[in-house]
């Protein structure tokens, strides 16, 4: 089966890990510092804080911006559960605004509709998700944040190296959050990174991820152990060097898939908005003939590891239905969840893989 994603680990990563293991310092040490500095430089931000994963990274990004109990955070329903859960972890409540049909990202118009309804001014932040590797419409979103006095947090877990105009994801709001999980565009197995240009937020974050200590054994706020290790940082430093070439290969693969799928008028391939540099964390098509589930099964049977991201929107998740008092109707997100399939697009795809994918579609097309 052609996997939907596959980490690419070379001899550089392996050697870097062995060097750390032999050094005697395996928890957070100088490699973590180096990884943070390089990631900050890459993203174009003043500070990057390495953490254990992309979920605690979101939690930290919210906490360092003073989001907590009694607050509400507008976000997208069409995302991985961690986006919504991190808001719940702070004690705040997620408020969902519907997405755009074209690019799967949160709709600025839907955000403003929610803001107009917020007469008690409980909404304190917008958490955008640059879904599948394409940044949100940040000019419009930042303008709304300014108008209503809100913090903007970017869930950039799928957007390492993605650009909006001349800036990179993670440098488009008040804080950014990345995941380094095994399936992401770069990986440290598990891992995360918080980004910000604020010195104060950086200081709070560093304390928050280390039990709320300002100096060792003096604790001034609530905190967690969200630290990472020099082992992961050593992998991350090598992955970061390769990230641009990984992303270039993904873009090339995406173009090949688009050309291949032009033949089918019941498939809508993903587009790239004019202000964007899309890094195709996923290549997600919409199946417009009502046969999404049949296509998925057929592709899987033909050895193509296609997958659905995401079968349910967050407001449709059993836990959220139980927890949130508000009942939502978010038609675009709900419909999208019934139409999408993501195809393998990662840098390791071979010519033989493309052939397998092409033949799988030809075979299925004969049945529709």
Give catalytic residues, as residue numbers.
Answer: 184
State which of residues 4, 82, 144, 201 lies at the interface with ligand PLP (CB under 6 A).
Answer: 82
Assess 179 for contact with ligand PLP (CB under 6 A).
yes
Rule CB under 6 A: say whether 181 interacts with ligand PLP.
yes
User: Which residues 7-66 are close enough to bind ligand PLP by CB under 6 A?
Assistant: 53-55
Compute the least distance from the CB of residue 309 to ligand PLP, in Å.
Answer: 8
Binding residues for ligand PLP, total number by CB under 6 A: 14
Distance (Å, rounded) from C-alpha 225 to C-alpha 204?
A: 14
Please report whether residue 228 would count as binding ligand PLP according to CB under 6 A: no
By CB under 6 A, is residue 80 in contact with ligand PLP?
Answer: yes
Q: In this chain, which stretch among 77-85, 165-173, 243-251, 311-319 interacts with ligand PLP, using CB under 6 A?
A: 77-85
Per CB under 6 A, 79 contacts ligand PLP: yes
Interface of this chain with ligand PLP, residues 293 to 322, rule: CB under 6 A: none
Q: Is 90 in the site for ligand PLP (CB under 6 A)?
A: no
- Residue of minimal Cβ distance to ligand PLP: 54
Scan residues 190-209 and list those touching ligand PLP (CB under 6 A): 192
Give yes or no for residue 84 binding ligand PLP (CB under 6 A).
no
Contact positions vs ligand PLP (CB under 6 A): 53-55, 79-80, 82-83, 129, 155, 157-158, 179, 181, 192
């Amino acid at each position: 089966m052609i996997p939907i994603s596959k980490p690419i680990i070379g001899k550089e990563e392996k050697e870097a890990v062995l060097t750390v293991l032999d050094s005697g310092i395996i928890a957070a040490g100088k490699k973590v510092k180096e990884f943070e500095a390089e990631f900050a430089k890459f993203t174009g931000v003043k500070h990057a804080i390495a953490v254990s994963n992309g979920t605690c990274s979101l939690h930290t990004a919210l906490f360092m911006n003073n989001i907590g109990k009694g607050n509400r955070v507008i976000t997208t329903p069409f995302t991985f559960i961690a986006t919504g859960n991190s808001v719940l972890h702070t004690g705040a409540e997620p408020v969902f605004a519907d997405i755009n049909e074209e690019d799967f990202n949160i709709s600025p118009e839907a955000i403003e509709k929610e803001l107009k309804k917020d007469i008690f001014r409980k909404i304190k932040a917008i958490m955008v998700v640059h879904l599948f590797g394409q940044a949100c419409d940040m000019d419009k979103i930042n303008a709304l944040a300014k108008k209503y006095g809100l913090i903007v947090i970017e869930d950039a877990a799928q957007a390492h190296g993605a650009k909006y105009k001349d800036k990179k994801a993670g440098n488009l709001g008040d804080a950014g959050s990345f995941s380094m999980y095994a399936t992401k565009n770069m990986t440290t197995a598990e891992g995360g990174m918080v980004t910000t240009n604020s010195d104060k937020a950086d200081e709070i974050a560093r304390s928050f991820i280390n039990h709320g200590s300002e100096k060792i054994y003096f604790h001034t706020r609530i905190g967690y152990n969200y630290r990472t290790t020099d082992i992961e940082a050593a992998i991350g430093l090598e992955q970061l060097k390769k990230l641009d070439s990984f992303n270039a290969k993904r873009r090339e693969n995406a173009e090949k898939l688009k050309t291949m799928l032009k033949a089918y008028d019941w498939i809508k391939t993903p587009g790239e908005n004019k202000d964007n540099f899309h890094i195709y964390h996923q290549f997600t098509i919409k199946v417009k003939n009502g046969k999404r589930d049949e296509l998925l099964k057929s592709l899987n049977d033909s050895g193509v590891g296609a997958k659905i991201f995401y079968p349910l929107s967050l407001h449709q998740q059993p836990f959220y239905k139980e927890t949130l008092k508000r009942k939502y109707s978010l038609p675009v997100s709900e419909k999208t969840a019934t139409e999408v399939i993501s195809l393998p697009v990662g840098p390791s795809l071979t010519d033989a893989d493309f052939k397998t994918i092409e033949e799988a579609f030809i075979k299925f097309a004969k049945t529709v």
